[in-house]
Amino acid sequence: MTATSDVTRVGATPVAERHQTTSRAARDWQRYAWAAGIIYVIALGAESVVAIGVGLTQNDSAGKMATALYEHRTRLVVIACLSVVYAASFLIYLWSLHNELRGTPDRPRILAPLVLAGGVLFVALHAVSDIGITGLVGAKLAAYGAQHDHSVSYSLYLTTYAFDSVADVFGSLLALATGLIVLKSGVLPRWLGRISLAAGVMFFLQAFGLGGVIASFGLVLDIIGFVLFLIFVLASSIIFLRRDTAVSNTQPAAIS
């Protein structure tokens, strides 16, 4: 054995160790990202449960809306706080989902960017509605609307429906592109791809009823779409999390 080969072997060992450390750290962050998807589902579910307690619909009168929003102003602040959690969690999940779905160069190049762009606009507009407008009404404007001008509370409450409906149009791009990639690549079970496609169709069609403001079918389709989408996010997060955990558990044994 030559001196050159000795030096090469000595130098290669730290490089391999650094590579293993980097890979392990990357897998750890990947697991955190999939955990963020689970947190998103939990936070959004909790936000929806709290919102039901307000007891309003888009067809209620301005006076009823103003009074109810004032009575439940603390609940509105809680909704805004939970929405902060789901908005941040979803962006973390979305970035990892995009990385998984863009995959190899043989996949259609337009679909993966649609996942990212649609997802960012989807969560951003929902955040404007649930954090910005709902938090503003709960903290300040609910009292003014109930005591002075019912139209303030009425207008802002219906505006949240409009923002959510527009957000779900972009969510349809996210869901449809994701479903097509899943069906083509097999990166997730095909049934999840079909669920994502169905959610995308519901998200798109609800816009013609503006989430219930123009017609009640919009709200019905929106609810169905969201349930399907939450199933996809939760199931995909669990599947990817279990895969990454299995890889982390088997790799040390392979290396040794």
Alpha helices, DSSP H, located in 53-72: 62-71
Residues of the chain with pLDDT under 50: 1, 7-8, 10, 12, 15-19, 21-22, 253-256
- Predicted pLDDT at 214: 95
Q: Are 98 and 112 in contact (CB under 8 A)?
A: yes
- Predicted pLDDT at 19: 44
CA-derived radius of gyration, the chain: 23
- Predicted pLDDT at 245: 76
In total, how many domains does the chain have? 1
Q: Classify residue 52: in a domain, yes or no.
A: yes
Within 13 Å of residue 247, how many CA atoms lie on the same side as its CB?
15
- Predicted pLDDT at 210: 94
Q: Classify residue 66: in a domain, yes or no.
A: yes
Q: Is 256 helix (H, G, I), strand (E, B) or coil?
A: coil
Distances in Å between the Cα of 130 and the Cα atoms of 77, 126, 198 are: 10, 6, 24
The per-residue pLDDT for range 215-254, each reduced to its tens digit, is 999 999 999 999 999 999 999 999 999 987 776 566 554 4
Tracing tokens 């088997």 back to the chain, one arrives at: 250
Going by C-alpha positions, the residue among 181, 175, 182 that lies closest to residue 196 is 175
Range of the domain at 75: 29-245
Q: Is 58 helix (H, G, I), strand (E, B) or coil?
A: coil
Tracing tokens 């969201």 back to the chain, one arrives at: 226
- Predicted pLDDT at 102: 84
Q: Classify residue 198: in a domain, yes or no.
A: yes
Q: Classify residue 21: in a domain, yes or no.
A: no
- Predicted pLDDT at 128: 97
Q: Classify residue 6: in a domain, yes or no.
A: no
Residues 6+ away with beta carbon under 8 Å from 175: 118, 196, 197, 199, 200, 203, 225, 229, 232
Distances in Å between the Cα of 147 and the Cα atoms of 60, 72, 143, 184 are: 18, 15, 6, 57
Q: Classify residue 251: in a domain, yes or no.
A: no
Q: Classify residue 23: in a domain, yes or no.
A: no
- Predicted pLDDT at 246: 72
